[in-house]
Amino acid sequence: MELKENERIDDLQRNGYQIIQNSEKFCFGMDAVLLSGFARIKQGSNVLDLGTGTGIIPILLEAKTKANHLTGLEIQAESADMARRSVALNHLEDKIDIVEGDICEADSLFPLASFDAITCNPPYMIGQHGLTNTGDAKTIARHEVLCTLDDVVRVTSRLLKPGGNFFMVHRPFRLAEIMATLMKYGLEPKRMQLVYPYVDKEPNMVLLEANRGGKSRMTVEKPLIVYEKPGVYTPEIYDLYGY
């Protein structure tokens, strides 16, 4: 596989799979790995990952689940190209498609109510104060420059089959807004897990599952702690990474 400038191939520790990344653009983080572990994908599901970046979540879900087919949607051409080459590198062309396109227009790119599950690791940060280059790949991945939380949830509600599930990782400081937005579009929060960097620190991530048209009842899972001490993951994190 030919690599472009600043690109590298990383081992995903799952099924021998690898991924192409560019350290000058944007590399996947722990949030994507945690989301792939949190998502409960039923056997035979058709899955869409919104804002797939370099394709990390579809590739990990293909390794960890028995999904029928996975699609990644990505607006940035360079990231979509890396994702396609990573799919080819792992010989997964028959299981994963990468589509270049805008999340805000996803409900016109795919048939309505056509996915059993949708995942998303969206931009977390609101506002553009202090941003000097809103076209930068890292800025687009982290800030709501090209799409908002409302955009993500709106198109998800249109693309999910009735009874389908939505899985998302986000930041706890926006939890009230997230819950209100999910319910605004008929996605009932069903499961939540807070992620803590250390046992004595505040949570810095939240994992959420919502169901299209589900009844009102939510389970809060036990906290997920990332580090036992600096540089040493907890057993749960080592397991998620496949070590």
Say what the pLDDT of residue 145 is. Answer: 53
The stretch 109-129 carries a mean pLDDT of 85
Into how many domains does the chain fold? 1
Q: What is the pLDDT of residues 211-222, one digit of tens each?
A: 999 999 999 999
Question: Residue 139: is its pLDDT beyond 70?
Answer: no
Query: What is the Cα gyration radius of the chain?
Result: 17
Question: Residue 113: CB partners within 8 Å, gap ≥ 6?
Answer: 158, 159, 160, 161, 162, 164
Residue 15 within any structural domain of the chain: yes
Residue 12 covered by a domain: yes
Does residue 2 form part of some domain? no
Task: Write out pLDDT tens, residues 222-232.
Answer: 999 999 999 99
- Tokens in use for 40? 């409960």
Q: If you average pLDDT over residues 33-61, what whole number do you get?
A: 96
Buried b (16+ CB within 10 A) or exposed e, 166-195: bbbbbebeebeebbebbeebbbbbbbbbbb
Q: What is the pLDDT of residues 58-106, one digit of tens each?
A: 999 999 999 999 999 999 999 999 999 999 999 999 999 999 999 999 9
Q: What is the pLDDT of residue 130?
A: 47
More confident residue, 163 or 124: 163
Q: Residue 146: pLDDT above 80?
A: no
Q: Is the pLDDT of residue 141 over 60?
A: no
Q: Tell me the average pLDDT across 44-65.
A: 96
Whether 45 shows a pLDDT value over 60: the answer reads: yes
Torsion, CA 167, CA 22, CA 60, CA 111, rounded to 10: 50
**152 pLDDT more than 80:** yes
pLDDT band at 138; cut points 50, 70, 90 = low
- pLDDT score of 143 more than 50: no
Task: Taking residues 226-243, report their average pLDDT.
Answer: 89
Domain CATH for 123: 3.40.50.150
Greatest mean pLDDT range, 87-91, 132-136, 234-238? 87-91
Residue 243: what pLDDT? Answer: 60
**Rounded to whole angstroms, how far apart are CA atoms 157 and 142?**
23
Q: Which domain holds residue 190?
A: 7-241
State how far the Cα of 49 lies from the Cα of 218, in Å rounded to an integer: 23
**Whole-number average pLDDT of the chain:** 91
pLDDT tens profile 176-224 = 999 999 999 999 999 999 999 999 999 999 999 999 999 999 999 999 9
Is 99 inside any structural domain?
A: yes
Residue-level pLDDT at 25 = 79
